[in-house]
Amino acid sequence: MVLLPIKNFSSQEKSTCLPRAGFVLIEVMLALSLFSLFSLGIFYLTLNTAQRNAKTQLQNEALFYAEEGMEAVRWMRDKDYLILNAGEYGLNFTEGEWRFVAAPDTSDEFFERTVTVEDVYRDENGNIAQAGVYDLETKKIISSVTWRWHSILPQSVRLETYLSDWRGDEWIQTTCTEFESGEFENTESNPTASPPLDNCSVQLSELYGESDFFQSTDIGNHGNDVVADGDYAYVATSKENSGVTIVDVSDPEAPEVVASVNIGGKGRSLFKEGNTLYVGVANENKGLAIIDVQNPSTPLLLANVDIGNWGNQPAVSGDTVFMAVESSSQGLVSIDVSDKYHPILLDTLSLGEAKGKTIHLSGTYAYMGTDSGSNGLRVIDSSNPFDLASVSTLDVGEEINGIEIMGNYAFLGTKNEAQSLQVINIANPATPSIVAWLNVNGKIQDLVLFENFLYAAMDESDEGLAMVEVSNPLAPQWLNNVDISGKGTGIATNGSEIFISIDINNQGLVLKRTMITTVATAGSFISNEFDTGGEDTRYNFLDWDQTGVPGGGIALQIRTADSVAHLETAKWVEVNPLTPIVLDPLRTGQRYFQFKVLFTSDGISSPILNQVRVNYTP
């Protein structure tokens, strides 16, 4: 056996070998500690996030539960406001209805809900206050929900609102009869579509203004009639060798004669259809002239037609011309003009002792004005131009020179100075009847209707033009008479200008502008007085239906008193729609009331009040 010697380490070698193993152990332990801390942090972070999410979810559920409480109380208010007595309640939904139960009610044996109903008081200014006048019509509602977080920490949500009593009687104004019992200032009522019957609205009044524009043109002789289309006016003149004159009116400030046509005699009346001009001629053998005016500067006479006498007013429907004739034996003729070079006479109709003066077609009827003082208006069935048939007549007392039709009404221009404009109901052509008349300061020679205005050529030297507003045919409104330096004989419009033929040789044609329409910029309507029948009437709310416009608006006010006499001096207070009405604290009482509507506009269009509703509890 060999014994090896044991090596002795020096102190220096010990100092360099032993610590190296210790450091490795420490590093391992440190790494384990850091990993444990990091893992623990991730765990607590995840746990905290989950707890926050759970808490948020509970708060959202509690808020929903509180909101459900509010909606339940609103439902109960709408059903019976008297249920809302001051106190604390729970809620229960059974048999399709919400009911108050003992507070609190619970959900999932976790949330507890309490609904609190509180009385409301108002100060002298009508504002809600801690003390003051008890408001019978308003309650404060609080819906609160509580629960415990982890069964330890108390949590809660709370919602508040005010509910008013919408119960009560209602006074509604919406018909013409109701509105027209009130007072209008720069406002007016207008019929509107039913229902209800007699339905009406109120708006600012329309204002009508006449332009100062005036221009005249020398057409070589005096004018007898005129029609206008686009940039041209066509004038029937009293000149034998040029019975029609055409005027370029594209620049109304400088009208210019561009052509004239020899039609075989003086021109009497005209009608333009498309590119064709039909003219009544003062010639017994050439009573109708047909002119091609496709190029107004170079018109072409296509044909003259013998209609048995002078031609007066023509009217056209399709390929048929119906013409009033200066003849008692054949006051109306029908002519086929499908071939304008070779017109064919279809039928004639005697008007008895009357001569045909003017004609207006509407549907399958021709409305004729004659020179008869007893049967001035004739209604003719024109559905078959081969077989003209008289339907009815109407005595208007004088000769008829102009007819315009608007809906079921015909406007007649007559020589009856006291009733020169007559309105006829023609809803049933077999039984026409006079429903209104108007004195426009002279005999009427011709009429033209544009929008809601009727313009009349007058047989008066100083008042040759009359203007009438006819938006309500049953109540035409005279606006003005205008001196046009001569008697008017015919009239037409292109929408912006009015063209009047006159009996002055060196003028013959006069231009005026159509009426300028605006609306008032401010106005009001005050209702009639209303008796609620109760000395202690409570006014719940005031509501109205309106059609708004840019630049305008509607506001409402109310005043109350203990008598109609005291209403006259009662103070108006402004109200907002569907909110509790706060009355004047110095009022004498509240049995009687009136409302006032204030209108504003930009002068172009008016807001429209369709209905007012006052809800009150007598």
Q: Indicate whether 388 pLDDT > 60.
A: yes
Q: Indicate whether 363 pLDDT > 90.
A: yes
**C-alpha 173: how far from chain center:** 19
Looking at residues 78-92, what average pLDDT do you find?
Answer: 87
pLDDT band at 444 (very low <50, low <70, confident <90, very high): very high
In this structure, is the dihedral angle defined by the CA atoms of residues 449, 452, 458 and 463, taken in order, positive or negative?
A: negative
Token pair of 513 as six digits? 């502008």
Q: Contact 327/283 with Cβ under 8 angstroms?
A: no
Q: What are phi and psi for residue 236, nearest 5 degrees?
A: -85, 125
Nearest to 517 by CA among 479, 548, 466: 479
The percent helix, strand, coil of the chain (3-state, each to 5) is 15, 50, 40
pLDDT band at 220 (very low <50, low <70, confident <90, very high): confident
Q: Indicate whether 202 pLDDT > 50.
A: yes
Distance separating alpha carbons of residues 235 and 222, to the nearest angstrom? 10
Which pLDDT score, from 0 to 100, does residue 50 have? 53
List, in sequence order, every residue forming a beta bridge with 400; answer none if it has no partner: 414
Q: Indicate whether 19 pLDDT > 70.
A: no
pLDDT band at 608 (very low <50, low <70, confident <90, very high): very high
Q: Output 47 or 109, whichever has higher pLDDT.
A: 109
Nearest to 468 by CA among 483, 450, 486: 450
What pLDDT, in 10s, does the model give residues 523-549? 999 999 999 999 999 888 888 999 999
What pLDDT, in 10s, does the model give residues 464-492? 999 999 999 999 999 999 999 999 999 99
One-letter-per-residue 3-state SS of 338-379: CCCCCCEEEEEECCCCCCEEEEEEECCEEEEEECCCCCCEEE
Burial of 563 (0-12, 13-18, 19+ CB in 10 A): middle
Distance separating alpha carbons of residues 17 and 19, to the nearest angstrom? 6
pLDDT band at 14 (very low <50, low <70, confident <90, very high): very low
Mean pLDDT comparison of 45-49, 176-180, 379-383, highest-scoring range: 379-383
Q: Indicate whether 334 pLDDT > 90.
A: yes
List, in sequence order, every residue forming a beta bridge with 114; answer none if it has no partner: 144
End-to-end CA distance of the chain: 134
Whether domain 210-515 has CATH 3.40.1400.10: the reply is no
Which pLDDT score, from 0 to 100, does residue 210 have? 80
Side chain identity at residue 123, one-letter code: D
Residue with tokens 């100092």: 15
What pLDDT, in 10s, does the model give residues 553-592? 999 999 999 999 999 999 999 998 867 788 999 999 999 9
Looking at residues 201-228, what average pLDDT do you find?
Answer: 91
Q: Contact 246/237 with Cβ under 8 angstroms?
A: no
* Whole-number CA gyration radius for the chain: 45
Side chain identity at residue 132, one-letter code: G
pLDDT band at 109 (very low <50, low <70, confident <90, very high): confident
Q: Output 96 or 564, whichever has higher pLDDT.
A: 564
Which pLDDT score, from 0 to 100, does residue 505 have? 82
Q: Indicate whether 186 pLDDT > 90.
A: yes
Q: Indicate whether 326 pLDDT > 80.
A: yes
Q: Contact 517/535 with Cβ under 8 angstroms?
A: no
Q: Contact 228/492 with Cβ under 8 angstroms?
A: yes
Looking at residues 434-450, what average pLDDT do you find?
Answer: 96
**Looking at the domain covering 169-205+520-617, what would its CATH class be?**
mainly beta
Q: Decide: pTM greater than 0.75.
A: no
Which pLDDT score, from 0 to 100, does residue 1 have? 40
Q: Indicate whether 345 pLDDT > 70.
A: yes
Looking at residues 151-172, what average pLDDT do you find?
Answer: 84
Percent of the chain whose pLDDT exceeds 90: 69
pLDDT band at 361 (very low <50, low <70, confident <90, very high): very high
Which pLDDT score, from 0 to 100, does residue 380 have? 98
Instruction: Go through 149-170 and write b for each residue having 16 or more CB atoms within 10 A of its CB, e for each that does not.
Output: eeeeeeeebeeeeebbbebbee
Which pLDDT score, from 0 to 100, does residue 39 have? 59
Name the DSSP letter for residue 12: H
Distance separating alpha carbons of residues 347 and 325, to the nearest angstrom? 13
Q: Domain segments of the chain: what residues?
A: 57-164, 169-205+520-617, 210-515
Which pLDDT score, from 0 to 100, does residue 124 have? 84
Q: Indicate whether 8 pLDDT > 60.
A: no
Count of C-beta atoms within a 10 Å radius of residue 603: 14
Looking at residues 396-415, what average pLDDT do you find?
Answer: 96
Nearest to 218 by CA among 504, 513, 512: 504
Side chain identity at residue 588, one-letter code: T
Mean pLDDT of the chain: 90
Q: Indicate whether 85 pLDDT > 70.
A: yes
Token pair of 282 as six digits? 């003062």
What pLDDT, in 10s, does the model give residues 285-322? 999 999 999 999 999 999 999 999 999 999 999 999 99
Q: Contact 263/245 with Cβ under 8 angstroms?
A: no
Burial of 174 (0-12, 13-18, 19+ CB in 10 A): buried
Which pLDDT score, from 0 to 100, does residue 23 have? 61
Q: Contact 541/615 with Cβ under 8 angstroms?
A: yes
Q: What angle do CA 209, 214, 217 make, to 5 degrees?
A: 150
Q: How many CA atoms lie within 13 Å of 513's alpha carbon, on the beta-carbon side?
A: 13
Which ranges in 80-206 belong to alpha helices (H)?
A: 176-179
Which pLDDT score, from 0 to 100, does residue 297 have? 97
pLDDT band at 4 (very low <50, low <70, confident <90, very high): very low
